[in-house]
Amino acid sequence: MRAVRVHQYDSPPTIDEVPDPRVEGPLDVLVEVNAAGVCRTDLHIVEGQWSGKSGVRLPYTIGHENAGTVVETGSAVSNVRVGDRVILHPLVTCGLCRPCRAGDDVHCESSAFPGIDTDGGMASFLRTNARACVVLDEGLVPSEVAAMADAGLTAYHAVRKAVPLLHPGAHVVVIGAGGLGHIGIQCMLAMSPADLTVVDRSEEALAVAAELGARETVLADGDQVERVLDLTGGQGAHVVLDFVGEGGTEQEGVAMTRDAGSYFVIGYGGAPST
């Protein structure tokens, strides 16, 4: 099969021919990958930022936002069938160890993270397990939802943490209405009654934010901090969600946050000044 492989950090990946994965265990699921999202983390991997953390040997296949069609299952798999279209949870967990049984899946004792610490889904096929497979509704197409496997979860988790801090009349600012941010905007509007202001340097992205339901939009053209402060009566927002996290938004996000407010960094790459 063909796969996108990293051979050397800080160099472009190549498309290689590699052996097909095979079903090896009773809970394994082999998926034909119909769509794989490109996450900012993939770029950081290529740049070598994750080389010490992932512990992989090069070359290896990247891609952790995957959706596709089930082509084979292990003998104990009962939740999916051959032909099902599925989106794949990025973290493959066993469901049997003590952390999994306690609902603490992220600390699974035998977890794997395809595309991070093992071969990922930018390939023709990916072996995962039954627990990582979520069957798609008939109206959903893998290419339209693959990025939700990670980007959707990331944005949702950030908003869920912020929602308890927001009450009717509170003000929340979202910095960045791109790949993560537009999902965060939709989650915030669905989960919170707070007034929402979106800041972005793209007028097109701001138009999307307004269409989604943002109360205010602010073009990041140099005076965005002052404009947010004006919108919040000079106090700043109760919560700022920074989906960019670099290029100066770190300092701007803190400046937009009121005293005793909360600043969440979801995008990363920069560092707040001290």
Q: pLDDT of 187-210, one tens digit each?
A: 999 999 999 999 999 999 999 999
CA atoms of 250 and 178, how far apart (whole Å): 17
H or E stretch including 67?
strand 65-73
Residue 274 confidence (pLDDT) above 60: no
Q: How confident is the model at residue 272 (pLDDT cuts 50, 70, 90)?
A: low
Q: What is the pLDDT of residue 247?
A: 87
- Phi and psi for 270 in degrees, rounded to 5? -105, -165
Residues 137, 12 share a domain: yes
Q: How confident is the model at residue 258 (pLDDT cuts 50, 70, 90)?
A: very high
CA atoms of 177 and 189, how far apart (whole Å): 13
Residue 270 lies in a domain: no
List the CATH number of the domain containing 140: 3.90.180.10
Residues 159, 136 share a domain: no
Residue 261 lies in a domain: yes
Q: Judge contact between 221 and 210, C-beta under 8 A.
A: no
CA atoms of 214 and 134, how far apart (whole Å): 30
Residue 236 lies in a domain: yes
Pairing of strands 216-219, 195-200: parallel
pLDDT per position as a tens digit, 72-111: 999 999 999 999 999 999 999 999 999 999 999 999 999 9
Domains in the chain, number: 2
Q: What is the DSSP string of 245-263?
A: --TTHHHHHHHHEEEEEEE
The boundaries of the domain holding residue 195 are 153-265
Residue 225 lies in a domain: yes
Of 147, 170, 193, the residue that ends a domain is 147
**What mean pLDDT comes out for the span 246-260?**
93
Q: What is the pLDDT of residue 49?
A: 86
pLDDT per position as a tens digit, 13-70: 999 999 999 999 999 999 999 999 998 889 889 999 888 888 889 999 999 999 999 9
Burial class (CB in 10 A: 0-12, 13-18, 19+), 123: buried
